[in-house]
C-alpha cells in the first residue's frame, strides 16, 4: 500500500472519466407543404433536407405526419444502431417550389431520440424543429416542362 497522495494529473484523469459532458444541437428542417396533385383535399409535406414525404388532410396535419415520420424513423434507426436520418436533398423542382412558397408561422418539433451519433452525412438524433413553407400549387415535374 502506497502512502503517496495521487498526482494532480491522476486525480483529474479519474474525475474526467467519472463525469460526462452532454452537448446537444438543435437543427431546423424546412418542409414545403402543397396540395396533393392527385388527391382532392389532401396535402403533402416534403422535407427539403431529408426528401421525406408525408400526407395529411390539411397543411397542419401533413406537418404533424412529417414530425411523426421523423420520430418513428429515428426510433427505428436507433434500435438498429444507425444514424437517425441521413441528409438527402429533395429534388430540384421541390427546391424551386420552396423558393416561391410562403412561411406560414407553422412549425412542429421532433424530440431527441437516443442512439448512435457521429456518422458521416447523418443528422443528429434531434431535437429538430420543422419550419413550414406553403405553396398553393404542387411542384412541376421535370418531364412536364
- Taking the C-alpha atoms of residue 87 and residue 91, their distance in angstroms, rounded to an integer, is 13
Query: Per the domain annotation, does 58 fall within a domain?
Result: yes
Q: Which three cell numbers stand for residue 118?
A: 457521429
Query: Per the domain annotation, does 129 fall within a domain?
Result: yes
- Taking the C-alpha atoms of residue 10 and residue 87, their distance in angstroms, rounded to an integer, is 42
* Strand bridging mode 27-35 / 128-134: parallel
Query: Per the domain annotation, does 44 fall within a domain?
Result: yes
Mean pLDDT of 120-137: 74
Q: What is the pLDDT of residue 87?
A: 81
pLDDT in tens, 68-123: 998 888 777 766 666 667 788 999 999 999 999 999 888 777 776 555 454 444 45
- Taking the C-alpha atoms of residue 70 and residue 49, their distance in angstroms, rounded to an integer, is 12
Residue 127 has pLDDT above 90, yes or no: no
Query: Per the domain annotation, does 122 fall within a domain?
Result: yes
Q: What is the pLDDT of residue 121?
A: 44
Query: Per the domain annotation, does 5 fall within a domain?
Result: no
Cα-Cα-Cα-Cα dihedral sign, residues 44, 73, 126, 83:
negative
Q: Using only C-alpha atoms, what is the Rg of the chain?
A: 22
**Which residue range(s) make up the domain with 104?**
24-144
Q: What is the pLDDT of residue 104?
A: 86
- Taking the C-alpha atoms of residue 125 and residue 74, their distance in angstroms, rounded to an integer, is 7
How many domains, the chain? 1
Residue 44 has pLDDT above 50, yes or no: yes
User: Which of 137, 139, 134 is CA-nearest to residue 61?
Assistant: 134
Amino acid at each position: 500500500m502506497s502512502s503517496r497522495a495521487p498526482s494532480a494529473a491522476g486525480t483529474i484523469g479519474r474525475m474526467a472519466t467519472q463525469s460526462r459532458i452532454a452537448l446537444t444541437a438543435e437543427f431546423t428542417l424546412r418542409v414545403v407543404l402543397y396540395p396533393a396533385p392527385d388527391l382532392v383535399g389532401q396535402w403533402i409535406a416534403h422535407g427539403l433536407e431529408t426528401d421525406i414525404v408525408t400526407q395529411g388532410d390539411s397543411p397542419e396535419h401533413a406537418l404533424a405526419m412529417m414530425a411523426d415520420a421523423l420520430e418513428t424513423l429515428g426510433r427505428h434507426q436507433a434500435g438498429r444502431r444507425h444514424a437517425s436520418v441521413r441528409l438527402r436533398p429533395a429534388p430540384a423542382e421541390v427546391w424551386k417550389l420552396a423558393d416561391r412558397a410562403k412561411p406560414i408561422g407553422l412549425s412542429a418539433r421532433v424530440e431527441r431520440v437516443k442512439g448512435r451519433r457521429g456518422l458521416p452525412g447523418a443528422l443528429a438524433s434531434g431535437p429538430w424543429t420543422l419550419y413550414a413553407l406553403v405553396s398553393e400549387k404542387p411542384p412541376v415535374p421535370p418531364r412536364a416542362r
